[in-house]
Amino acid sequence: MNDLGGERHSIDELLAAARARLDRIKPETLERERTAGALVVDIRPGVQRARDGELRGAIVIDRNVLEWRLDPNCEHHISEVVGHDMRIVIVCNEGYSSSLAAAQLMDLGLHRATDLIGGFQAWLRLTVSEKR
């Protein structure tokens, strides 16, 4: 048992449980989600953004403050967050930590939170192939 009194789980089990709760989106639908009003949040570290580029239309929020910035009930939330019914798409580098983060946002009541399958790298591959 862990400190919270529950069973121990591997990271693979936690990831699978998180993803089972999410309506994950494919890279080819990210722009459609954004134009429909979704808040796209890039949680990649600065070194990855500097190396691979910015995600057009996304706001950047460091992972370590994500819940505080997106919880509409928190005094530290960003102005773009207007309620619990917002569609929020979390993007990390490869789509792993974003799944865990989106599930955490769901626990805060942001029931339409999700993430991008394959993360920024999948989106980048798609945009590079579209330019060819």
**pLDDT attached to residue 1:** 40
**Residues in Cβ contact with 103 at an 8 Å cutoff, skipping those fewer than 6 apart:** 17, 18, 19, 21, 22, 113
The CATH code belonging to domain 11-131 is 3.40.250.10
Distance between terminal CA atoms of the chain?
Answer: 52
Kindly state the percentage of the chain with pLDDT values over 70. 95
Give the closest residue to 47 by CA, choosing from 62, 59, 35.
Answer: 62
Give the closest residue to 61 by CA, choosing from 78, 47, 42.
Answer: 42
pLDDT grade for 6, boundaries at 50, 70 and 90 = confident
Range in 5-19, 22-36, 53-67, 108-122 the model is least confident about: 5-19
Digit-coded pLDDT (tens) for 42-76: 999 999 999 999 999 999 999 999 999 999 999 99
**pLDDT attached to residue 2:** 42
Q: Which helix (H) or strand (E) holds 120?
A: helix 119-131
Give the closest residue to 84 by CA, choosing from 107, 58, 111, 65.
Answer: 111
pTM confidence score: 0.92
